[in-house]
Every structure is written in structure tokens, then in C-alpha cells.
Copies of this chain bind each other. A is one copy, B any other.
Amino acid sequence: MRISIYRKAHFNAAHRLHNDDWSDEKNREVFGKCNNPHYHGHNYELEVRLTGEIDPITGYLYDLAHLSQLIKEHIEERYDHKNLNLECPEFKDQNPTAELICIEIWKILRSKLQDKFELGVRLWETPRNYVEYPA
């Protein structure tokens, strides 16, 4: 009786996409408006999925209040109202694309959860674009 539970959260942040090894021209060509050196930003919407067996005593897979607190403490406090390029070391050597932010969030939450729970993360950069890890 494996089941999945989902919890939504959100944070707002600024970012910029850029590759230091490229010319300005090539950066603008590949990243377009996302290359703006002055940054732009998004309301990131996050959806966390845990999969596993229901606890027969409580009827819960996992206490959603705990999951919500975990996301708040480790994800929202880290990224909310931040400049991802300047203030988050994990984006010093890689671009804060939706894909890579999603994987970083997955890694952080993975380290806080017991192995018996399978973990999935979806991240909306805009209401029309989002990513999911693992696929």
C-alpha cells in the first residue's frame, strides 16, 4: 500500500544566467533576457512529494506539519528573498536554472529524510514553466 503525499511551498528570489567562459555576445545569444547583469526574479513555487508506506497507527505517511516545517527551515529560509547567484554558494560554479535549483532542493531534503521515503521535487519558475527531479 505505497502512497505519495505532496506539500506546496514558495519563495521569491533574484537570479541571472551566465557562463563566465563565454563572451557577452554568446551569453546574450544563449540566455537571452535571463542574462541581464542586473538580475531579474521569480516567485518560485515548490512541490515536495514523499512516497512510502502508511503508518497503520496514525494513518499518516508522514506528518505534513513536520514536512512543512522541514521545507520552511531548510529551503524557504535558505532561498527566500535572496539573490541566488550572490548569496547561495551552490550557485557559484553552476547556473541557478530551474533545473539546478530543483536538484539542489532535492539534495537538501534528501539528507533530512529517512531512506524509507522516496523523494520527488517540482519547481515552478513561472506559472507556465516548471521542472521535476527525478524525472
Residues of A within 8 A of B (CB): 1-10, 12-15, 17, 19, 30-34, 36, 38-43, 51-52, 54, 57-61, 63-65, 80-83, 86-87, 94-100, 102-103, 118, 126-135
Contact (Cβ within 8 A) B57 A40: no
A43 is contacted by which of B1, B2, B43, B51 (Cβ under 8 Å)?
B43
A64 to B59, CA, bound (A): 32
Chain A contact surface mostly: mixed
A132 touches B43 (CB 8 A): no
- Chain B residues with Cβ below 8 Å from A7 are 128-129
Partner of A6, one of B40, B65, B130: B130
Which of A3, A10, A15, A103: most chain B CB closer than 10 A?
A3
Shortest CB distance A135–B (Å): 4
Min CB–CB distance A117 → chain B (angstroms): 11
Q: Are B14 and A58 in contact (CB under 8 A)?
A: no
Inter-chain CA distance A131–B47, complex, in Å, is 12
Evaluate contact between B95 and A127: CB separation under 8 angstroms.
no
